[in-house]
Structure 1
Amino acid sequence: MAFAANPLSLSVPEAAFETWLRDSGYLEILDDRTASASASASANRNPSPTAATTTTTTITTTINSSSSSSDLFSFLRTLASLLALNPFAKLAAEDFAGPTPSWTLEFLGPAAGCYSWPAGPAQARMRVQENVRRYARNYAFLSLLFFACSLYRMPISLLGLMSSLVIWELVRFCNEKWDLEQRFPGLRQVLVRFAQFATAVILYVCNLQLTLISAIGVSYAVMILHASLRKLTPSNQPNGMNRNRRSQHRRLQFFSK
């Protein structure tokens, strides 16, 4: 615990305080602290020119060029970390059990200020993994929507998918009508193998794999882009816990300054 050594102390080590925030679930405070630290560092690297001499102008230009190169390198490093990141590392089945977050107030956010480019790979990783858990049902619905739109644009793939469903429905109907599993298990195995082979041929001929690849690619890109740009906000909790969390949030913001 960060406060175990001296619980009456008003200051704790920076690393211990951030660890306590992460373990306690106050990721939104870590997100704000990372963005504030990045803004302060950027302001320190870009001092405004106060003198009118040629030497000062040259030094300022050199500093600005170096800062631009550093910002570009940081941007590329963050982008590379997003491409190499596994966004489903902390995703669990329980994340799909809850209600779907509001599309306007929670998923998209009430204002444009809810989005910003991550200050570094660590902040990008934290945002993506946490937002994927929070909005798992939203991303799943978007994936189905993109898949349906892909099928709409490729009617042959849609026809092949419907044909495959019809084949398996016929197998199920025959199995229930003549009780093939009990009376003729060999014939049932033949029908299942035939349905599998026919489904594979139909899906290959109709290029359904291209539809799946395009839908998965678009869904993944949208998920990574939204999850990395969406700022972390306090998660919804019951009213009593929410009031307690807001009071703790104010105290933590005071001590983190």
Structure 2
Amino acid sequence: MVFSSNPLALSVPDPAFESWLREKGYLEILDQRSSDLHRISTAAAGDGAAATSVSASSGGSDNSNAATHIPTFLPYGAFVSCFSYLKILISLLTLNPFAKLTNDDFAGNTPSWTKAFIGSFGSYSFPTSLDQARLRTHENVKRFARNYASLFILFLACSLYQMPIALVGLLLSLALWDGFKYCGDHWKLDQRPVLRQTLVRVAQCATAVILFFSNVQVALLYALGVSYAVLVLHASFRKLTPAKQPSQSERSRRIPKK
């Protein structure tokens, strides 16, 4: 977004405008701006390539050459577009979605599952660049941290339901540590640090054996893999939206006029 120079307004450079939007928290405008710039650049590149193809084909003696050269651009453009999308999808594996996540992000209320988390069909779009995917991922993970945590618990419960032995092993491990806590309070192990440390090591070994033979780690890895895939895809494809709807006065002074 470039502001035109006129006697009543100043021309704001793009980097300064983006820094202002980040400082003020208007990240949804940056997201929409990236999509608009990519659409404009793609349309301009397509028009330029089509014009070049037409001009090259018009150098021939008949119109049959033009009909031959023009369609060759279309498969090439589709191939380049698919390759760029595939590159962005592969690059999502290199992102760290928890880079900006803090403990305070889990302290607030859970966003609405229908309006905020899922949204409408128009709330999703393919990221046009890795920078846009990174911006969406970091901000959506912070905003929907409690939703993603709930999904992980749901996937873990489903995997444990499909693996009853793993569920029994997990319950036995929890019961073991609960019994250890009860015995520690009853026998006053805090006054016997050597005995308490020895029993802790024994409980840890027993827990490891129970979890290993009951295949709890398989259920945990399945839940982690599915929830991580859902998190990355949802966070990178979900458009950034304002945390709250601004009032009419806030919308009027939200962005300087072009």
Normalization by structure 1: what TM-score?
0.86
In structure 1, give the amino acid aligned to 2:101.
Answer: L
SS at match of 2:253: helix
Deviation at 1:242, TM superposition (A): 4.8
Alpha-carbon distance between aligned partners in 2 of 1:7 and 1:82, rounded to the nearest angstrom: 45
Deviation at 1:105, TM superposition (A): 0.6
Correspondence 1:11-50 to 2 at 5 A: 11-47=11-47
In structure 2, give the amino acid aligned to 1:106.
Answer: A
Normalization by structure 2: what TM-score?
0.85
Alpha-carbon distance between aligned partners in 2 of 1:92 and 1:124, rounded to the nearest angstrom: 20
In structure 1, give the amino acid aligned to 2:110.
Answer: T
Alpha-carbon distance between aligned partners in 2 of 1:57 and 1:11, rounded to the nearest angstrom: 45
Counterpart position of 1:117: 126
Counterpart position of 1:247: 252
Alpha-carbon distance between aligned partners in 1 of 2:174 and 2:43, rounded to the nearest angstrom: 60
Counterpart position of 1:164: 173
Deviation at 1:235, TM superposition (A): 1.2
Deviation at 1:21, TM superposition (A): 1.6
Deviation at 1:54, TM superposition (A): 3.1
In structure 1, give the amino acid aligned to 2:253.
Answer: Q
Alpha-carbon distance between aligned partners in 1 of 2:93 and 2:7, rounded to the nearest angstrom: 42
Alpha-carbon distance between aligned partners in 1 of 2:132 and 2:98, rounded to the nearest angstrom: 16
Alpha-carbon distance between aligned partners in 1 of 2:14 and 2:69, rounded to the nearest angstrom: 33
Structure 1 residues 242 and 141: CA distance shift in structure 2, 3 A: farther
Counterpart position of 2:198: 190
Deviation at 1:243, TM superposition (A): 4.8
Alpha-carbon distance between aligned partners in 2 of 1:173 and 1:107, rounded to the nearest angstrom: 41
Note if 1:232 corresponds to 2:232: no
In structure 2, give the amino acid aligned to 1:175.
Answer: G
Alpha-carbon distance between aligned partners in 2 of 1:179 and 1:13, rounded to the nearest angstrom: 68
Q: Which moved more, 1:54-63 or 1:197-206?
A: 54-63
Structure 1 residues 20 and 159: CA distance shift in structure 2, 3 A: same
In structure 1, give the amino acid aligned to 2:70.
Answer: T
Counterpart position of 2:184: 175
Alpha-carbon distance between aligned partners in 1 of 2:167 and 2:207, rounded to the nearest angstrom: 13
Correspondence 1:58-97 to 2 at 5 A: 58-97=68-107
Deviation at 1:145, TM superposition (A): 0.8
Alpha-carbon distance between aligned partners in 1 of 2:70 and 2:30, rounded to the nearest angstrom: 32
Alpha-carbon distance between aligned partners in 2 of 1:175 and 1:7, rounded to the nearest angstrom: 78
Q: Does the CA-based 8 Å contact 1:118-1:228 persist in structure 2?
A: yes
RMSD: 2.7
Alpha-carbon distance between aligned partners in 2 of 1:243 and 1:227, rounded to the nearest angstrom: 29
Q: Does the CA-based 8 Å contact 1:78-1:120 persist in structure 2?
A: yes
Q: Deviations over 1:157-193 (max 9, x none)?
A: 11001111111111111111222222x4443333222
SS at match of 1:11: coil
Alpha-carbon distance between aligned partners in 2 of 1:187 and 1:161, rounded to the nearest angstrom: 26
Q: Does the CA-based 8 Å contact 1:45-1:67 persist in structure 2?
A: no
Alpha-carbon distance between aligned partners in 1 of 2:25 and 2:68, rounded to the nearest angstrom: 47
Deviation at 1:221, TM superposition (A): 0.1
Note if 1:148 corresponds to 2:157: yes
Which segments of 5 or more consecutive residues in structure 2 lack a partner in the other structure? none
Q: Does the CA-based 8 Å contact 1:146-1:219 persist in structure 2?
A: yes
Alpha-carbon distance between aligned partners in 1 of 2:13 and 2:196, rounded to the nearest angstrom: 68
Alpha-carbon distance between aligned partners in 2 of 1:24 and 1:70, rounded to the nearest angstrom: 36
Which segments of 5 or more consecutive residues in structure 1 lack a partner in the other structure? none
SS at match of 1:101: coil
